[in-house]
Structure 1
Amino acid sequence: MGANWDDESIAREALKQFPVHGERLVYLGKSDNVTFQVKTKQESVNYLMKLHYAAMGSHSKKTVESELLWLEALAADTGLTVPSPVRNRDNGLTVEAAVNASGKSVVVTLHRWVNGELLDREPTAGEARSLAQLMTALHKHAMEWNAPAGFTRPAYDTDNVLSLPGPLKRLQELNVISDEAYACLERTAHKIAAELRLQTVTKPTWGLIHSDLHESNYVFDQGIPRPIDFSACGFGFYLFDVAETFLHLSPENRREFLSAYREERQLREIDAKSLDLFFVWAILRNFAFLAQNPAEHASLSELIPKVMKSYFENYLKDEPVLGGG
């Protein structure tokens, strides 16, 4: 489906408030936000514009601006290529554009376009290691960076875990999954929350994370991975970030990733039990996200029982899930 005419007109009006001369807008898609590529006369200079419809509640503008502040800091302090923000003509990070005559407005942001290709295959062993190096660079920066006063991003904590059974309950009500399957998911969430309370929150273990670094959210340019889409970034355990990426890697690549991550962070070992905890949480979070899309229900009805047997039942019995790391 193409762009809504109103979205395009909102984007065009918002673009006037940025110091950028866009030749044309290319509609990219709609998930939580509506996105456009802004093409300029210079072929190598393009931008990404986001209409943040998902952030229309209270504190939304501050939350979006906090994401952009981290991106600005990453661009300034590291050698990483990230979708850094373009400030508006008044040096602000965001623009508020009127949605309709009702007075409602949407937060609009503009980012520098990150060149590269999405992988349509499993990463090679070398690519898995370079992804680990990328994640380590993000984590090292987060450990050293002092976020400014008022910085607001979500926290991936016990409250977050305990919110996950909500959307999954709907799958039970629609008979997409059995009562037994839902009970297993609910028990898993409560066990994760209980074990999470025992995790130590220190500077080397907890901080700002991308939280969604998978093959749709990084591109490779000349063999170097570049992170994109920081819209889910927030505060969490660094191992949760690792576990989220693990969901999308083969067992062999998980080993490569973990080995490189340990080397880069100079960690003698990584607690396998903790990694299992975060991995199971990452699966549960993914299921809760997919459960909100009716188009995913058919595949979830097959996938959830399989994953329960492969991972959740072992986790609930205190048996290894991933194996040693």
Structure 2
Amino acid sequence: MRVRWDDESIAKEALKQFPVHGERLVYLGKSDNVTFQVKTKQESLNYLMKLHYATKGIHSKKTVESELLWLEALAADTTLTVPSPVRNRDNGLTTEVAVNASGESVIVTVHHWVNGELLDREPTPGKTRSLAQLMAALHRHAMEWNAPAGFTRPVYDTDNVLSLPGPLKRLPEMNVISGEAYACLERTAHKIVAGLQLQTVAKSTWGLIHSDLHESNYVFDQGIPRPIDFSACGYGYYLFDVAETFLHLSPENRREFLSAYREERQMQEFDAKSLDLFFVWAILRNFAFLANNPAEHASLSELIPRVAKSYFENYLKDEPVLGIGNY
């Protein structure tokens, strides 16, 4: 019989390999990975530890290390406060620790803790503008930074869009949504792909993006937003990054965000149809993510038909989705 070590024991063993003097571990939660806060004697100096169980399969050690390389560069090249990595005692970005007596291992990383408050409410217009300035700063850095050889992160392209109906295809079989609702999602994915083929890939439009900057992935400290959780960062359109954040903003705040972002990027205007495309893609991606969690199926049974009628049907008919117009 294989004996599996518990997560806290693995974390304590891993911590020995980092130049961090932790007093205690505070369990934060589990999604794809298991996370702990590492508390030290200094109240303002804490760390985040991740046990990357999701590295088995589609992820790899190189993919995790690439995320950390960008975080290191952001910390060195900008004034942004990010969860930059702590290198281990051998100057490595990751450490591997055994999880059972058979020698299976898990990749472990340690990050500087980012202090701040998670928002449990809609941001104010001022905070929304600050958030747009933060995103613009990330994009400016991505445009200027030369990733090292071997840098590997996910790519958000047509293949990504075509993979989204897969998790959703099971929903009609489980009576979560109707076959008609699924067909609408599938048609939407194919229309997004056709639209992406008309998008321009250039230094000013495509590069490294956070891809998941919503209220659970940024904190505010003294009014300044700080991004956290770069685990979904990858290559994509900068407007896709904007659209992902739009999912969590009111229509009024979307306008505030666009205004501030445009000023920071010195853009003349946004193309409304392109923004609609990325917004619908962001919704579809979110549905596919939630579809993998049976606990979300009850809410999806109500949400998908409503959103399909409000957004997807308009998109399929080439009618405005966000209603922003060229801005």
Question: Aligning the two structures, in what range does the TM-score lie when normalised by the shorter sequence?
Answer: over 0.9
Q: Distance in 1 between matches of 2:103 and 2:81?
A: 37
Conservation of the 8 A alpha-carbon contact between 1:243 and 1:275: yes
* 3-state SS of paired residue (2:126): helix
Alignment map for 1:229-268 (pairs within 5 Å) = 229-268=229-268
- Displacement of 1:102 after TM fit? 1.9
Residue in structure 2 matched with residue 123 of structure 1 by the alignment: 123
Q: Distance in 2 between matches of 1:312 and 1:59?
A: 31
* 3-state SS of paired residue (1:307): helix
Residue in structure 1 matched with residue 154 of structure 2 by the alignment: 154
Q: 1:133 to 1:29 in 2, by over 3 A?
A: same
What is the one-letter code of the residue matched to 1:320?
Answer: P
Q: C-alpha root-mean-square deviation of aligned residues, in Å? A: 1.0
Q: 1:44 to 1:291 in 2, by over 3 A?
A: same
Residue in structure 2 matched with residue 316 of structure 1 by the alignment: 316
What is the one-letter code of the residue matched to 2:208?
Answer: L
Q: Distance in 1 between matches of 2:68 and 2:143?
A: 17
Residue in structure 1 matched with residue 166 of structure 2 by the alignment: 166
Residue in structure 1 matched with residue 42 of structure 2 by the alignment: 42
- Displacement of 1:57 after TM fit? 3.0
Q: Distance in 2 between matches of 1:14 and 1:255?
A: 45
Q: Deviations over 1:81-118 (max 9, x none)?
A: 00000000000000011111122111100000000000
Q: Distance in 2 between matches of 1:76 and 1:296?
A: 39
- Displacement of 1:298 after TM fit? 0.4
Residue in structure 2 matched with residue 278 of structure 1 by the alignment: 278
Q: Distance in 1 between matches of 2:296 and 2:38?
A: 31
Conservation of the 8 A alpha-carbon contact between 1:56 and 1:107: no
Q: Distance in 2 between matches of 1:102 and 1:320?
A: 57
2:84 aligned with 1:80, yes or no? no
Q: Deviations over 1:247-283 (max 9, x none)?
A: 0000000000000000000000011100000000000
Give the fraction of aligned pairs with identical amino acids, expressed as a percent.
Answer: 89
Question: In the comparison of the two structures, how many residue pairs are matched?
Answer: 322
* 3-state SS of paired residue (2:97): strand
Q: Distance in 2 between matches of 1:120 and 1:189?
A: 31
Q: Distance in 2 between matches of 1:236 and 1:38?
A: 33
Q: Distance in 1 between matches of 2:165 and 2:231?
A: 22
- Displacement of 1:59 after TM fit? 5.9
Q: Deviations over 1:127-169 (max 9, x none)?
A: 0000000000000000000000000000000000000000000
What is the one-letter code of the residue matched to 1:146?
Answer: N
* 3-state SS of paired residue (1:219): strand
Residue in structure 1 matched with residue 227 of structure 2 by the alignment: 227
Residue in structure 2 matched with residue 142 of structure 1 by the alignment: 142
Q: Distance in 2 between matches of 1:15 and 1:320?
A: 52
Q: Unaligned 5+ residue runs, structure 1?
A: none
Q: Distance in 1 between matches of 2:181 and 2:213?
A: 28
Residue in structure 1 matched with residue 187 of structure 2 by the alignment: 187
**TM-score normalised over the length of structure 1:** 0.98
* 3-state SS of paired residue (2:6): helix
Residue in structure 2 matched with residue 303 of structure 1 by the alignment: 303
Q: Distance in 2 between matches of 1:191 and 1:302?
A: 23
Residue in structure 1 matched with residue 24 of structure 2 by the alignment: 24
Q: Unaligned 5+ residue runs, structure 2?
A: none
Residue in structure 2 matched with residue 109 of structure 1 by the alignment: 109
Larger mean CA deviation between 96-105 and 132-141 belongs to: 96-105
